[in-house]
Amino acid sequence: MEDQHINKTLRIAVLISGSGSNLQALLDAIEARHLPGVEIALVISNKANAFGLQRALKHKVPALYLPWRTREEWERRVVDLLQLFQVDVIVLAGFMRIISADFITRYPERIINLHPALIPDGGKGDTYTTSDGSLIPVFRGMHAPLQALEAGVRVTGSTVHYVVPEVDAGPPICRREVPIEAGDTEDTLQERIKKVEHQLIVEAVKIHQQRV
């Protein structure tokens, strides 16, 4: 990927597997000039029917379906595409595959992920201290909103973090708490978290841009 200090425009590749609602949040923020100096250079999906591809094409952003046959082959082709499109940072926006440690370490603090739970400072540790001083478990991996419901906690949230080889353990860029309401299901809680994610992903890109 390009050196951001040379390339003044921050060029993003967004990796998706589904609807691409967080991609849409970025597209809208860029078009509304809330992210000056930021451009989505490329959208890649591992699924041919991902609606996010249509979102990208509607906004005249290069988008392609790259079938996942083996992880090694897929990542090798992605590396070539990142170089071709002079990408500075990768955003995993609902990308439902685990990428290898080799790929991650190739781009230190250049891969950003959204996780539907609260990750502590530094990314490590088994507990998170909420704004009211309560200690809650750190929910990692799949179905974090369901984990929060099953644990009976009163608050969960969303974190945008840099990706490291350990799953959902990278240093946070930004995060926000989301209260759990009486009668919440995994779906209703996930939807409220997703609305917060749409704001956080824009905030995270802005923070990353300022850091580099």
Distance (Å, whole) CA 201 – CA 120:
17
Q: Where are the beta strands (DSSP E) in the chain?
A: 10-16, 38-45, 63-65, 89-92, 111-115, 127-129, 135-137, 155-162, 172-179
Tell me the helices (H) and strands (E) count for the chain, helix number first. 6, 9
Q: How many Cα neighbours within 13 Å face the side chain of 197?
A: 26
Helix (H, G, I), strand (E, B) or coil at 71: helix
Apex 93 CA angle, 200 and 17, nearest 5:
155
Catalytic residue flag (residue 161): no
Helix (H, G, I), strand (E, B) or coil at 85: coil
Q: Which is the catalytic residue, given 5, 34, 59, 115?
A: 115
Distance (Å, whole) CA 55 – CA 19:
9
- Among 68, 76, 25, 66, residue whose Cα is nearest residue 43: 66
Provide the annotated active-site residues: 115
